[in-house]
Amino acid sequence: MFQILHPSKALDPVTTFTVFKFAKEKIWWAFGQMGRKTLENPKGATFSKMLGSGRKGFDIIPNFRQYTFLAQWESAQCADEFFASPDFRNYAAQTAEHYTIKMSTIQSHGQWDGAEPFQTAENIEKEYTGPIVVLTRAKINFTKLLDFWRHVPKAHLSLKKSKGVLLAFGIGENPITQQATISVWDSVESLKKFAYHRPGHKEIVKRTRQRGWYSEELFARFIPVAVDGGVLFGYPKIDSPSESTVGF
């Protein structure tokens, strides 16, 4: 059952991000479901992706015990129907733990596979200052892979040391060439301090432009309006400190 985080006047569309964690004995089952893209293209979704995640946060080696599902829905009703459906419930029943954040898009620019998947919600708050979710996604130029990955540890450390980041880790369709990062911040102010005043982050942004790492990129921000499962924003815990994964 979703717990309301932020009473919002924003209307549809709605975006959801779900994390699934599996016990060791379910690794091969989960990997097989990923290969079949079991949850993709549900009714009412205008965009949906089953995504892997990096080991120890933003690592080139996949975490075979954790997968994610990202989707934008025509309406909140479509999202609710999916999470109540047998397809989702049967999949979730195989997990050791799962949680979902329901969100309204504040801003999105760039493309994912040639499309603009995240449409800004109607009546969105213009002066919102509370907790914020950020998604960045890029397709890395093949000839730039070594240069890109050489700079990842420094970017990882910059985010890990940032104040106000509640959760962050790498996700993606391909662990080497198609990478995304999801991060959750306690406030818009914390995000701004990281984006504009953190030297490590500013350096990475500069190098991205100078060296042409990406053939495609996307940046989106969301207001988290509800959560189901885990502890975040004062609700049941998403990750214990020993398991928390931080990427950039």
Choice among 29-33, 64-68, 86-90, 121-125 with the minimum mean pLDDT: 121-125
State whether the Cα torsion 78-80-82-86 is positive or negative.
Answer: negative
Between 144 and 230, the more confident residue is: 144
40 pLDDT more than 90: yes
- Cβ atoms of 184 and 167 within 8 Å: the answer is yes
Average pLDDT for the chain: 85
Distance CA 117, CA 111 (A): 7
Candidate from 116-120, 161-165, 180-184, 232-236 with smallest mean pLDDT = 232-236
The topology (CATH level 3) of 8-228 is Alpha-Beta Plaits (3.30.70)
Flag whether pLDDT at 245 surpasses 60: no
Give CA–CA dist 162/148, Å, rounded: 21
| pLDDT, tens only, 127-138 | 888 899 999 999
Q: Is the pLDDT of residue 247 over 60?
A: no
* Amino acid, single-letter form, for residue 216: E
User: What is the reported pLDDT for 238?
Assistant: 36
